[in-house]
Chains A and B, each alone.
Chain A
C-alpha cells in the first residue's frame, strides 16, 4: 500500500508539472461539448439500470426460495464493483499503457482513486474524463453480474462476494485494458464496439467454468426446477433492452451520427432475435413462449454489442436473426446434451451470443459506417476476422483459466458451494435470513371483514 501511495503521489506531482506544458504544446486544445457530455452521462445511467434489471431477469427464472439471493447477486455487485472501479479498476483498465504495471495487459496505476482525472478531457472525445469513467464503471459492474446466472441457486454469499471482487481485478480489468485501454488486442486491430469480447464472452465463459466446477443443483434433471415468476423476468428483460441503448449507442462517446447508427443496429438485432428465438421454439416445441421472447431479445442484444458501431442496419438484422437461432440451440439442445447446469444460461446466451457477435463484426464491419473501424470479410478484408478470432480465443482462455484459478483460491478460503440443507431450505432464508414472499398467517394478511370475524352463530 505504501508503494502504491508513493507511485500515486509522484505521478500526481509529475502531472501537475507537465500538464501546462502539454496544453501549451497543443495547437488546438480539445473542447468539451455539452451535447456529447449529456448523452454519455445519460447513457451511463441507462447502463446502470441494466444491472438491477438483470437481477429481475434472473430472479424470475429461479425457484421462489432463491429469488432474493439471485437479485442480491446483481444488486450487491453494483456496490462492490463501483467502489473497486473508482479505487483500482479504472486505472488498471485505462491507465497509461507504456508505463503500465504490465504493459499491454495492465495499465499504469497513476490514476488510483481517480487521481488526476478531474478537469481532463478524455482523449479523442469531447467529454470529461469523469463522464467516461462513470460510463465505463457501469460496464465493469454488469459484467460480473452476468456470471451469476451460471451458478444461481447453489452458492454461498461470502464466496460469491470474494470471487467477484477478485474476478473484477484480475480478469475484467486486464481484459478491458487489452481491448479498449491500448493493450495487446487493441494493437492487433480487433474491434469491440461496446463489449462483446470484454463483457459477454468473458462473463459467459467464466460462468460456464464456474458452473462446471461448482456442480449441478441438487435434483437437476430429476426434479422440475421451474421459473417461479416469469413476469419479473420479462420486466428485467425490458429494463435490459432499454439500458442497452445506453450501452451500445453511448459507446459512441458522443451525441452524433455514430450513436444513432449504433442505436438503430441495436434495435434491429434485438427485434430480429426476439422473432427468431420464438420461431425456433415454436417449430420445435409447438408453442411460442414469453420466456423465449425475453431470452431472444437478450441474445440479439449480446450479439450486436461488439458490432453495433461498425455495421449497417441490414447486417444488424441478420446478426440478430442468427443470434436468436444459435443461442436457442445452445440452451435447448447443446446444454442438455453436454449435461452441465448453467442455471440461467449465462454461457448459452452471453458466451455463445458474444462469440457470434465478435465473429459477425469481422464479417460485416464497414468503414462506411465508422471510419475509425475497419472493413470485414464481406467488405473485402479478411484481416479483421483473423484479429477477431484471435481475440475470441484470448477471451476464452483468460475467462476459463483465470476463473479456474480464482475458484480454487476462493474455495480454499471459504466454501463456494452451499451445503445440502441450505439448498433444500433455499438460499434466501439461510444466507440472508429473509423470504421474498410472505405467508399470510405469518405476516398478518387481512383475514376478512369485521362481520365475518365476530359473527355469532
Chain B
C-alpha cells in the first residue's frame, strides 16, 4: 500500500464532490429563505405598512382638526385667531377629515401667536350643517360664532345674523358676536337698525371695537 497518500488526496476530492450537492442544496434553501423573507418584507409587509402609513396620515389630520384646525376661507386672516376648541372633541365628519392636503394653508395668528391650520372647506355645506347640528346638541357658542363668521365671510348675511343672534342668546357677553350681528344687519341694508343696536351695545359696554365699527358704518366704509 504505497499509494496511500494519493488515495487520501483522492478521498478528499471525493468528499468535496460528495458534499457539493448538499452545499448547493443548503445554499439554495438559504437563498430561497432569504428571498422569501425579502419578498414578504417588500410585498406582504409593505402592504401592511402602507395601510399604516395611510392611517398615520389620517390620524394627524384628524387630530389637527380636533385640536386646532379651523375650516375657513384662507383669505380671512382675522379668523386665524379663532379659538382652537371651536371644533369640539366630537369626531368630525369623515368628509372633513379627508380633505386634500393641497388645500391646506398654514397661517400664523398675529394676535394670539397661535399657529392655526386653516383648511378651506369651500362649498361644502354639509360641514356647516354638521357644526350647526352639533351646536343644537351642545349649545357651544364656539360653534355658533364660527358659523356666524363663516357665513358673513361667504356673504350669506342672513345666516350670519342668525348665528350671531344664536351666539348672543347663549352668551350675551361675546363682543365679536355682537359686531358680526351689526355688520350683517348693515350688509342687508338695515343701516339704521344696525346703528341703533350698536349704539345700545356701546352704551352698555363702552367697547372701543364697537365705537370704531360705528364710525365705519356712519362713514359707509364697511
Is chain B a partner of chain A in the same complex? no
Residues of B within 8 A of A (CB): none
